[in-house]
Homo-oligomer: A and B are copies of this chain.
């Protein structure tokens, strides 16, 4: 939709949001920052309802007759299946493009705008993954049909950010006053950057940054946190941070960021592993999160501990996407 609501990534201080009244319908989902904390609370309330949708319950047909197009210009099986499952759990239908970049008219030189104008004729909502930052915003500006950004290159992946915050709320029971350790690749991880932005909407948040030197959090996020009054500190001591935080958010060191420097990759990768010792240092109520996929940055023996929240976190992605599809298609 020609959006009334989404913000500019570079002008976050002036983010417009939609009215947070109880009755509302979202237009598009382009950036996590487009929402204020009241809207987030409302979305989370709908997501909680979605946890109760069962086969053949009335809720399971709320999107009957609606058609979602998943337009993926780069593959992401996990995200695609999560959206398609969400749509089908609510009785809706799906048109799939697993590799729009290679297969579609894009290969013949068609613009994104023309593709969107065609696909909007076939569907009621478009879920788009693209390799270019800003692609989702361009799509939303082109069509009256709601657009969900399922990741646009180095840009945003707002449903991931929402499910992360929802998971913290579900696991810890609060967002104000939360202590979150962000661990691993903080320079390139779009996930931790978005999460930092969203956490800044809450009161008395403390963020610990734990990462190898080559992939430290960039200054723009640190400055943003400071400007919002969020306390943060960098640390090299994972055990100490683990003993203090409510949430330990681990991420994968991405090999593809290191090019030829395999040596640097190997060094960075082995530095902060969440294993049984780290778990032992953590508080009883604290949890380990991870956006998945993981390699060995969380050892497998952690999985059985009830504080290992990452598979519940993946499942929460389903509820968040169900909530968003409902809010975008039929409203509150």
Q: Is A21 an interface residue (CB 8 A)?
A: no
Contact A292 B105, beta carbon cutoff 8 Å: yes
Contact A122 B293, beta carbon cutoff 8 Å: no
Q: For the complex formed by this chain, how many copies does it contain in all?
A: 3
Q: In the complex, which residues 103-124 of chain A have their Cβ closer than 8 Å to any Cβ of chain B? A: 103-105, 108-110, 114-115, 117-119, 121-123
Contact A69 B81, beta carbon cutoff 8 Å: yes
From residue A6, how far is it (CB to closest CB) to chain B in Å? 23
From residue A167, how far is it (CB to closest CB) to chain B in Å? 13
Q: Is A275 an interface residue (CB 8 A)?
A: no
Assuming the A-B contacts A294-B114, A311-B117, A318-B122, are A67 and B81 also in contact, with contact meaning beta carbons closer than 8 angstroms in the complex? Answer: no
| Residue numbers in B under 8 Å from A84 (CB-CB) | 95
Contact B56 A65, beta carbon cutoff 8 Å: yes
| Residue numbers in B under 8 Å from A243 (CB-CB) | none
Q: Is A14 an interface residue (CB 8 A)?
A: no
Q: In the complex, which residues 67-88 of chain A have their Cβ closer than 8 Å to any Cβ of chain B? A: 67, 69, 75, 77-78, 81-82, 84-85, 88
| Residue numbers in B under 8 Å from A117 (CB-CB) | 311, 314
Among B65, B110, B121, B318, contact of A295 (Cβ-Cβ < 8 Å): B110
Q: Measuring CB to CB, which residues of chain A are less than 8 angstroms from any residue of chain B?
A: 55-56, 60, 64-67, 69, 75, 77-78, 81-82, 84-85, 88-89, 93, 95-100, 102-105, 108-110, 114-115, 117-119, 121-123, 252, 292-295, 311, 314-315, 318
* 9 A-B pairs in the complex with CB atoms less than 8 angstroms apart: A67-B85, A77-B104, A78-B118, A81-B95, A85-B123, A88-B93, A98-B98, A108-B293, A118-B311
